Each structure stands twice: as structure tokens, then as C-alpha cells.
Amino acid sequence: MGGMALHSLHASHDVAASPCDKSISSDSSVASHGSAHSSKHGAHRQASDSEDSDIDLTKQPRLPYVVGFSTIATKHKPPEPFGVGYSTEDAPEVIGWQTLSQLEYCLARLPLGGNTISHETKTLTVTSVIRTGYGRGAQLVVVNEDTVAKIYDPLYYEYTNDFDIKQDIVYDADGDYSREASAYIELQKSTAASKVVPAYHGTWTIDIDVIVRKGETPQKCTRRVPLILMEYLRGQPMVNIEVDSLSQRIQSQVLREVLDAEAVIYHAGIDHRDFLPRNIMITGVDKGDEPSCLVVKVFDFNCSTVLGHPRYRDRQYIHQTNKLLAKWHPKLLNPIVRWYGQMNELSVPGWCSARYAEQWLWEQYHDDERYIPVVWDPSNPDTRPQYAEFESGSEKSVDSGLDLDSAVEKGEECGDMSGLGSADHIALAIQSS
């Protein structure tokens, strides 16, 4: 199907070297890409997509990200974030990719942006699997027992949607990588934020080999795939917790800790944009545990935006929010305003009654000195809460209890909420400021 098309695509973009340069004789053994030696995790597998001697370009090779898979990762500086939330110029695309099979497109992809730091490498061995599979998007595995690798491999993204339309899997995978990497890099600048997200261990690439047959000659092709390494979180996703098994006191404490974590992340300059129970890990909610044992960690930043990035799409809307935060520095935007009318995703799983969500927010945060004060009449819940007028002396510094640092200086903060578009949320956040 695609031997000539694949070659012409590479040639048209002046790629220095094809990923399929290495011809191998038809009787050559490819066992080196299968089992090499035993380990306590079973067969030690090298970085290969296939155990077969060769595969047709129209077919997908076997999933390589299984227990025992081992590879050398090379440090990588990711490209500038692009896609959702950014006005960054998109990377050049392969012309005519829609006519290619998924494997052909992944082999024809243009070189990943950013910079390879070739002298920094590390060995990664998959020791357990979190989420992998065809059409599953980024692959999640545990490597070296205690680290999660999130692998942005377009070959295992969904190529054809429910309407039988092909999706640009390379754009999707590289965009996910660029945005999530950018978010984690920014979060490292805030001591407070780094405590409510997984520990970050950098961005890397791995080379994945696949043996394909083009005409009569099998060839080894190499695909370069980016990944992020982060802390292996142990606990329960918030969405999986049986809320009814918890006391009202602990339910309320968990929900408060979750909103506090989001506030800290946002104060560090990151709009998560997918802040849902499935992306929040909770530990310390077993029966009998005291609320003081709770630990909340937020993950999955591939949809997020760095609000201070020069290519952040809605930067023109944040001036008033900057002024509000500068006035009240170092206080945070108050969840009463930010989450007003937006508690649906948390009330549906049972964490908070949708009917009384606004009253709950008021009870929790109306006198919390860590946050900008709010004016609201609980007896008239349909009236939107507003930020209090700033008065001289109101700006006194308080111990937030969130270990806030000075990562975001006056005038450098900006505002948005996960469930809304950036401009919409900023409009909510600054009302009556």
C-alpha cells in the first residue's frame, strides 16, 4: 500500500534520514527484538513493536508497552506548547497523511520538535501496567517499580473517530506531550503546587523499532516517541471512592482539600481545564482515618494551559484579574466565586449536594483569610457572589496554611476555572472587583 507514498512523503519534507534505513536479509533472526534474557519480571523485551519477523504497513504492530519491556530513554527538552488554549503556530504536517495507514503515518511523521540531550540517558523497564491499549491515547505504565511513564505514542491513539473520520494522531500526541510537559515545568516553580501534584522526573524520548516489509525486503524502522516520568501515586482516584461509606465530616474535608489543591495549582499559573474526579488521587480516606491523614494529588495535565505563557490564547482578558490579585496579594481567588454554579461534576458522584453546593462553599470559605473575601447573601442563592471592595489594611499577610510561596508575584497571576473557557471564567472571577 504505502512503500512509495511513504518514501515520497519523507523526501518532500527533506528529512535527513528515513526511519526505515536498515534493510535486513529475509533469513535474519529478529529474536533480539523479542526475548533477550530473563528477569524477575519475566522476559526482558527490547524496544520493539513486534515479535513477528515483519508486518504489513497496513497493519498495527503488537503493543510493546508490556511488563518486561525495557528501553533506554534519552533526556528531551519539549517543544513549546501548542493546541488547545494556545495560539502557538502548529508544527508542519505530513501532506496527505489522511491517505496513509496509522503505521505509515507514524513512520512518516516529521521529527519531534524540541531538543535531545543525548548525554543524559536512563534505563526504563516496565514493571506493571496502568492503562495501555490500541486507541487509548497516551499509554500509562509503571517503570522501575516506583515511577510512572506517560508515553505519547500516536500509533496507539484513536485514528478513526465514531464518524469514521481520521484524526491527526501525531498532532494530538505531540500536543498532549507539549502541554503536559509545559504545565509540569511551570508547576516546579511553586513549592505549594509541587506538593499537590505528582513529583516530576522530566521529559524523555525512547526509540521503538518495528520490522516492516516493503516489497520483498524486510526493514527495521525506528520511531522516536516522547514520554514524561512522574511519581507513582498510590491511592484511589476520587471517582472510585464510595462516598456513602464516608462520614459527612470526612466527605466535606476531602472536597475542601480538593478545591484547595486546585486553587494552589491555579495560583501557580496553571489552568487544569479537566479538573474532574477521575484526575484526582486521594489517600487517607479508609474507614477510621482522620481527615488529617488526607493527601490530595492532581494529575493529567495534557489539556492544561500555562496562563503566563506568551502564547496563552486568552492573555488579553486577564488584565482585570491581575489587578484584583495585585490588590489582595498574597490572597487567592476564592472558590465561592470560582466554583459558583460549577459544582456539577463534584455533586454528581455524591460529594456535594447540587441543591446546597453554593451554601456549602459559603460555609467553608466565607471567613477563610487565605482567600480574597466575598460578599454574598446565602438567603438569595440565585444572586452571584462578588468580591469585596478592597480597603486599606485588608491586604495584611496571613498564613495561608497552603504553604504558598512567592512564585507568582503581584501582577503576574491570571484566572480561569476548569469547567469554563478561559475568557468566561475570568469574567466570573473579576465581577465587582
**Which residue is associated with the grid cell 464518524?**
163
Cβ atoms within 10 Å, residue 215: 8
Tell me what pLDDT residue 43 has.
39
Question: Which residues does 131 contact at the CB level (< 8 Å), separation at least 6?
Answer: 139, 140
Pairwise pLDDT comparison (421 vs 213), residue with the higher score: 213
pLDDT above 60 for 422: no
What is the three-class DSSP state of 345?
A: helix
| Domain boundary assignment for the chain | 9-231, 236-429
Q: What is the mean pLDDT of residues 218-247?
A: 93
With 0-12 / 13-18 / 19 or more C-beta atoms within 10 angstroms meaning exposed / middle / buried, residue 143 is: buried
Give the residue, 392 or 187, on which the prediction is more confident: 187
- Comparing 268-272, 277-281, 325-329, 405-409, the range with the smallest average pLDDT is 405-409
Q: At what angle do helices 319-328 and 422-429 cross, to 10 degrees?
A: 40
Mean pLDDT for 108-118 is 92
Whole-angstrom distance, CA of residue 346 vs CA of residue 354: 9
Per-residue confidence band for 54, with pLDDT thresholds at 50, 70 and 90: low
CA distances (Å), origin 346, targets 51, 89, 240, 278, 297: 45, 35, 13, 11, 16
End-to-end alpha-carbon separation of the chain, Å? 62
Q: Mean pLDDT score of the chain, rounded to an integer?
A: 81
Half-sphere exposure (CA, 13 Å, Cβ side) for 385? 26
Phi, psi of 344 (to 5 degrees): -55, -50
Would the pTM of this model clear 0.85, i.e. be above it? no
d(CA 230, CA 201): 5
Residue 346 contacts residue 255 (beta carbons within 8 Å): yes
